[in-house]
Amino acid sequence: MTNPIPTADHLTHFDATGQAHMVDVGAKQDTHRTAVAAGTIRMKPETLALITSGSAKKGDVIGIARIAAIMASKRTSDLVPLCHPLPITRVTVDFEIDEAANSVHCRAQVETIGKTGVEMEALTAVQVGLLTVYDMCKAVDRGMVMTNVRVMEKHGGKSGDWTADIDA
């Protein structure tokens, strides 16, 4: 299924004259909102072995990346200029080791009860989680690649539920 190409009137962060602005969500209903994002970091097999063995020089890579991801989700509005600060009610961050692909997959789920969604918070959590893995292992592998960071699903709000196409 092909999505229509968005036009300028679909971009909610611009006013009628094309100036950037923060979307007014004041009239929206508070609803339970959830977003899930995911991404991957690929690396050398030796780097993945350091992570899985717990012998990376800087310590527990996955544990520290999880905390960084959670912290980042709470600071999204400080990083992305037009994001609303949100009262996040729950954040979970999971990492999966994929030895066959020499990768670590990150998945973040963020929830709130509010007037706007938490997709940006979930994406920020994943990206900072992956950046933290990179930071902690860059001394042995500067060629790591972060890839496929995207929203996987969102729930709640006026637009309802959405799930990513698996092949997108």
48 is a domain residue: yes
Catalytic residue among 15, 24, 94, 135: 135
| Both structure tokens of 2 | 């092909």
For 85, the domain range is 31-157
| 84 appears as a binding residue in the annotation | yes
Domain of 111: which CATH number? 3.30.70.640
Give the number of domains in the chain. Answer: 1
Q: In this structure, are residues 137 and 51 in contact, taking their beta carbons and an 8 Å threshold?
A: yes
Q: How many Å apart are CA 103 and CA 85, to the nearest integer? A: 32
| 123 appears as a binding residue in the annotation | no
3-state SS assignment for residue 138: coil
Q: How confident is the model at residue 41 (pLDDT cuts 50, 70, 90)?
A: very high
Residue 12: its pLDDT value, please? 64
Question: H or E stretch including 39?
Answer: strand 31-42
Is the pLDDT score of 2 beyond 60? no
Query: Which residue is listed with tokens 């097999």?
Result: 45
| 120 appears as a binding residue in the annotation | yes
Residue of 103 and 12 predicted with greater confidence = 103
In this predicted model, what pLDDT tens digit does every residue of 50-60 receive, in sequence order?
A: 999 987 677 79
Closest CA to 149 of 87, 63, 72, 59: 72
Verify whether residue 135 is a known catalytic residue. yes
Residue 8: its pLDDT value, please? 47
| 10 appears as a binding residue in the annotation | no
In this predicted model, what pLDDT tens digit does every residue of 120-141 receive, in sequence order?
A: 999 999 999 999 999 999 999 9
Burial class (CB in 10 A: 0-12, 13-18, 19+), 166: exposed
Is the pLDDT score of 91 beyond 60? yes
Is the pLDDT score of 1 beyond 50? no
2 is a domain residue: no
12 is a domain residue: no
115 is a domain residue: yes
